[in-house]
Structure 1
Amino acid sequence: MVRVATYFAMTFGAFLFWESMDKVHVWIALHQDEKQERMERELEIKKMQAELMAQAKESES
């Protein structure tokens, strides 16, 4: 009986571990996607700022 209970507990523990790891992997992937999107937006903003600065210098001349 102890062996059956131990096996059940180990199986259940492995299942919980597997499910939590799956959730962690999904969270990491989403976090990386958000970070990539934020970096792309910041790069686009920097490019736009550079263009506006170049236009401002051009109009001053």
Structure 2
Amino acid sequence: MVKVATYFAMTFGAFLFWQSMDRVHVWIALHQDEKKERMEREQEIKRMQAELMAQAKESES
């Protein structure tokens, strides 16, 4: 009976561990996606600023 209870407890513990690891991996992936999107937006803003500065210099000349 102790062996069965120990086996059940270990199996249940392994299941909980894998479920939590799955959630951690999903959380990490979401944050990586958010970081990538933020960096892409910042690059787009810098590109637009460079274009506007070039247009401003061109119109001043």
Distance in 1, matches of 2:23 and 2:46, equals 35
Under a length normalisation based on structure 1, what TM-score does the superposition of the two structures give? 0.96
Identity, % of aligned positions: 90
What TM-score results when the alignment is normalised by the length of structure 2?
0.96
Q: What per-residue deviation string (whole Å, max 9, x for no partner) do you get for residues 2-60 of structure 1?
A: 11111010000000000000001111111111111000000000000000000111111
Any unmatched runs of 5+ in structure 1? Answer: none
CA RMSD of aligned residues (A): 0.5
How many residues get paired?
A: 61
Listed as ranges, the gaps of 5+ residues in structure 2 are none
Give the whole-Å Cα distance in 2 for the aligned partners of 1:5 and 1:56: 76
Q: Which runs of 4+ in 1 moved over 3 A?
A: none
